[in-house]
């Protein structure tokens, strides 16, 4: 059975990605750092649907924690075949005057450091087996250039470069590396967003509606499926055409 890890899968898009991968037959490691109840709910939903999943609590930004977490997953489920870099920390907008180098480091830690730690934990095994699928979750904010959000936008932009460089370096080993860039997909943390803000966003979406977390899950599951076998180094916007212009 193929084994997948989804970082930050206790809620939001990560939980939908975990469910989509499990529905496609992957055994899924549901990673989280704080919300044990949320992770257990995701695991229970996958099990109830006939899939295989287990929760793994570790901080994806901590090198020793990633090493330990990956070792536990391999011991429980077997060698990892698919890594999905999805976890993110707080990224509230603020003016340049209120941004610091630490604001940038906080985002780079999730968007560059964590994906690097995860990749390093599997890459020797993937090279030896001449297979592996890495999918990171970027954002359309890179194309839009959301103001007051440079630390987040810059870190998400870095993910495009990582994806392209890693894809070229690892392509000869049949290891594929891709990036899925969602639009604004309402999840639990958007409960306080006003109707006006939703309307303002929707008017710029070609399909004039919001996507749902399962839309992102489906794209990731496709990239991890045989259909994705010859796709690498690419960025896929899943945003109803918001970034067409
Ligand atoms: N939703 C959107 O509209 C949207 C749009 C574009 C891009 N994205 C991207 O999609 C991804 C998911 O976004 P989301 O909206 O679903 O986020 P979210 O609801 O805030 O969920 C973040 C997840 O990351 C986990 N997490 C936080 N710190 C962690 C750590 N140190 N180690 C491991 N896990 C950690 C959280 O779990 P715990 O609380 O249990 O730690 C949670 O499961 C992110 O990369 C985000 O940038 C989202």
Express each pLDDT in 44-103 by its tens digit.
999 999 999 999 999 999 999 999 999 999 999 999 999 999 999 999 999 999 999 999
126 ligand 1 Cβ < 6 A: no
Residues in the chain: 245
What sign results for the dihedral spanned by CA atoms 36, 182, 110, 200?
negative
CA of 189 to the centre of ligand 1 (A): 9
Gyration radius from the chain CA atoms = 17
Is the residue at 195 inside a domain?
no
Is the residue at 207 inside a domain?
no
Q: Which atom of ligand 1 is nearest to the CA of 10?
A: 43
Query: Measured between alpha carbons, how far is 243 from 168 in angstroms, rounded to an integer?
Result: 26
**205: its two tokens:** 């979406």
Express each pLDDT in 162-173 by its tens digit.
999 999 999 999
175 ligand 1 Cβ < 6 A: no
Give the β-pairing of 27-32 and 132-137. Answer: unpaired
Is the residue at 245 inside a domain?
no
**The domain containing residue 111 runs over which residues?**
3-190+214-238
Q: H helices within 139-210, ranges in order?
A: 141-144, 150-170, 195-202
35 ligand 1 Cβ < 6 A: yes
Beta carbons of 201 and 228 less than 8 angstroms apart: no
Neighbours of 238 (CB within 10 A): 18
Query: Measured between alpha carbons, how far is 20 from 38 in angstroms, rounded to an integer?
Result: 17
Is the residue at 208 inside a domain?
no
Is the residue at 143 inside a domain?
yes
Query: Measured between alpha carbons, how far is 147 from 167 in angstroms, rounded to an integer?
Result: 30
DSSP state of 10: S
Query: Measured between alpha carbons, how far is 160 from 35 in angstroms, rounded to an integer?
Result: 29
Whole-model pTM: value is: 0.99
Give the β-pairing of 235-238 and 3-6. Answer: unpaired
245 — pLDDT class (breaks 50, 70, 90): confident
What's the angle, vertex CA 10, arms to CA 4 and CA 15, rounded to 5?
60
Mean pLDDT for all residues in the chain? 98
How many structural domains does the chain have? 1
Express each pLDDT in 136-153 by its tens digit.
999 999 999 999 999 999
Tracing tokens 């954002």 back to the chain, one arrives at 139
The pLDDT value recorded for residue 76 is 98
CA of 243 to the centre of ligand 1 (A): 22
Is the residue at 199 inside a domain?
no
Average pLDDT over residues 225-233: 98
Rounded to the nearest 10 degrees, the angle between the axes of helix 12-23 and helix 36-48 is 30
Q: Of 98, 112, 117, which is closest to residue 161 (Cα–Cα)?
A: 112
For residue 99, the domain's CATH number is 3.40.50.720
131: helix, strand or coil: coil
Beta carbons of 25 and 19 less than 8 angstroms apart: no
Is the residue at 198 inside a domain?
no
- 32 noted as active-site residue: no
Is the residue at 197 inside a domain?
no
211 ligand 1 Cβ < 6 A: no
Neighbours of 228 (CB within 10 A): 18
């Amino acid at each position: 059975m193929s084994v997948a890890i989804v970082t930050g899968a206790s809620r939001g898009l990560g939980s939908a990605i975990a469910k989509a991968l499990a529905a496609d037959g992957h055994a899924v490691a549901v990673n989280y750092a704080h919300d044990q109840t949320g992770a257990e709910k995701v695991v229970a939903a996958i099990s109830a649907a006939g899939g295989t999943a287990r929760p793994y609590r570790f901080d994806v930004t901590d090198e020793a924690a990633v090493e330990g977490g990956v070792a536990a997953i391999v011991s429980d489920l077997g060698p990892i075949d698919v890594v999905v870099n999805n976890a993110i920390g707080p990224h509230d907008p603020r003016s340049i005057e209120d941004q610091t180098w630490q604001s940038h480091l906080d985002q780079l830690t999730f968007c560059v450091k964590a994906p690097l730690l995860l990749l390093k934990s599997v890459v020797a095994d993937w090279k030896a087996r001449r297979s592996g699928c890495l999918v990171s979750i970027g954002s359309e904010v890179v194309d839009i250039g959301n103001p007051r959000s440079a630390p987040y936008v810059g870190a998400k932009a870095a993910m495009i470069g990582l994806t392209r460089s890693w894809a070229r370096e690892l392509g000869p080993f049949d290891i594929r590396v891709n990036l899925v860039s969602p639009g604004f997909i309402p999840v639990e943390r958007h409960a306080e967003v006003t109707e006006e803000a939703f309307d303002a966003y929707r008017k710029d979406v070609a399909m004039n509606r919001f996507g749902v977390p399962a839309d992102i899950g489906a794209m990731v599951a496709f990239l991890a499926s045989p259909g994705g076998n010859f796709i690498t180094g690419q960025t896929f916007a899943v945003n109803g055409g918001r970034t067409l212009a």
